[in-house]
Chain A
């Protein structure tokens, strides 16, 4: 059995084992944990990662340029509100890109890094940094270019698709069974009131991980023992564009977020 299946299964089990009988609002609990960390450490892990991301952002690449030379959708070097408008189609690459893939594009095309030199942890830290400039901004994702509309349509199909040996898909839990739980947390109303698109990138205090929505989507598939789409791949972008568009207008309360 491949390793990812075992890991996926392990997550399923771990989620199950941690269950407490009393129901605690996970958001309130996250706030409490955040406060606790702030009081004991004096600084939040999210703030540390943002600082780290800032250093990577301002580091010169092999071509002697920092990431400030890159266009994240609102013009060269403009970060204010940029992440809230992603994913979107970029004329220079001819692709729909989210924050993760745009960072990758910046590092390879503008800064001159080879793809194999780029560490995932750095990309996530940079995503934390760039996302921090969109706090308080509404999500504004458009379906203007045919490429955006096509990807959105694929994302919608994937969201509602039921597949694999567990016969499930995103919508099964996040639409049909919202509020019930298979693990510690009740399933989020991803397209509705929970506006889950605005919860990532985030720091997960339960296991000290930093994730973007790409990691979150992959973990969802993992939890249902379904093969995961590769990082930066079209199926992930499609799901992201679908979710972001569905959450249009939602105001980003906290980026990077602090979650369980």
Chain B
């Protein structure tokens, strides 16, 4: 089968200069399409950040970090009304929904919820940080695009990928910071 013949040159792809146009690209594409067109489409549409993290195996060289962070920061969008803290009740729905936040997969949240992962830090009592403008803004931006703070971290960029909207991000912020939120109540 000709498709088996993926040239060693394909190494440079999937994480190194996806803009490169060459016969190698065509062969890599053929190999990926052999796995199904949806699979190939997603693999071949890595954005610049994903490509860099793949290429450097999650450890970016120091000289690339400032530019990477700035580019990720530029991807953050904010709610039209400018409010970064919304409705915690809706925030809890987004937080729990596996198709949107899916946050319990990695974080502890409301203390009574025992089904949580340990990939990320516990968010129980996150609100003890207060609701200063700086805390609210950091929380919003971190949720919307975690890579704007920690390059290539496991936490996926839910806002950037549209898993939740800017308004829903603000609701998530409220769920974490609002003193009335169950995440902050005993």
Interface of A toward B, CB cutoff 8 Å: 1, 9-10, 12-13, 15-21, 93-96, 147, 149-151, 153-154, 157-158, 160-169, 171-173, 175-177, 180-183, 221, 225-230, 233-236, 238
Taking a contact as CB atoms under 8 Å apart, the answer to whether B34 and A234 are in contact is yes
Taking a contact as CB atoms under 8 Å apart, the answer to whether B11 and A157 are in contact is yes
Q: Number of residue pairs across A and B with beta carbons under 8 Å?
A: 153
Contact of A12 among B8, B34, B105 (CB under 8 A): B105
6 further A-B contacts with Cβ under 8 Å, apart from A235-B31, A235-B39, are A147-B4, A153-B11, A154-B31, A161-B43, A181-B118, A238-B6
* Set of chain A residues within 8 Å of B34, measured between Cβ atoms: 230, 233-235
Task: Write 26 A-B pairs (CB below 8 A) sorted by A numbering.
Answer: A10-B98, A12-B98, A16-B105, A20-B114, A150-B7, A151-B4, A154-B6, A157-B15, A158-B43, A161-B15, A163-B46, A163-B50, A165-B156, A165-B162, A166-B161, A171-B58, A172-B58, A172-B154, A173-B119, A177-B154, A180-B118, A182-B117, A229-B36, A230-B36, A233-B36, A234-B6
* Set of chain B residues within 8 Å of A93, measured between Cβ atoms: 1
The number of residues on chain B lying at the interface, defined by a beta carbon within 8 Å of a beta carbon of chain A, is 50
Mark contacts of B46-78 with chain A using CB atoms, 8 A cut-off: 1 yes-contact digit, 0 otherwise: 100010011001100000000000000000000
* Set of chain B residues within 8 Å of A230, measured between Cβ atoms: 34-36, 39
* Set of chain B residues within 8 Å of A96, measured between Cβ atoms: 4
Q: How far is the CA of A157 from the CA of B57 in the complex (A)?
A: 10
Is B13 an interface residue, CB under 8 A from the partner?
yes
Taking a contact as CB atoms under 8 Å apart, the answer to whether A16 and B39 are in contact is no
Given A9-B98, A167-B156, A177-B154, A160 contacting B116 (CB threshold 8 A) = no
Tell me the dominant secondary structure on chain B's binding face.
Answer: loop
Given A12-B98, A162-B54, A181-B118, A226 contacting B42 (CB threshold 8 A) = yes
Q: How far is the CA of A168 from the CA of B6 in the complex (A)?
A: 24
Nearest-Cβ distance from residue B152 to partner chain A, whole angstroms: 7
Taking a contact as CB atoms under 8 Å apart, the answer to whether A165 and B163 are in contact is yes
Taking a contact as CB atoms under 8 Å apart, the answer to whether A95 and B115 are in contact is no
Q: How far is the CA of A183 from the CA of B106 in the complex (A)?
A: 8
* Set of chain B residues within 8 Å of A180, measured between Cβ atoms: 117-119
Taking a contact as CB atoms under 8 Å apart, the answer to whether B42 and A163 are in contact is yes
- The closest CB in chain B to the CB of A233 belongs to B35
Nearest-Cβ distance from residue B46 to partner chain A, whole angstroms: 5
Q: How far is the CA of A12 from the CA of B53 in the complex (A)?
A: 24
* Set of chain A residues within 8 Å of B185, measured between Cβ atoms: none
Nearest-Cβ distance from residue A238 to partner chain B, whole angstroms: 8
* Set of chain B residues within 8 Å of A9, measured between Cβ atoms: 98-99
Contact of A16 among B43, B58, B104 (CB under 8 A): B104
Taking a contact as CB atoms under 8 Å apart, the answer to whether A13 and B98 are in contact is yes
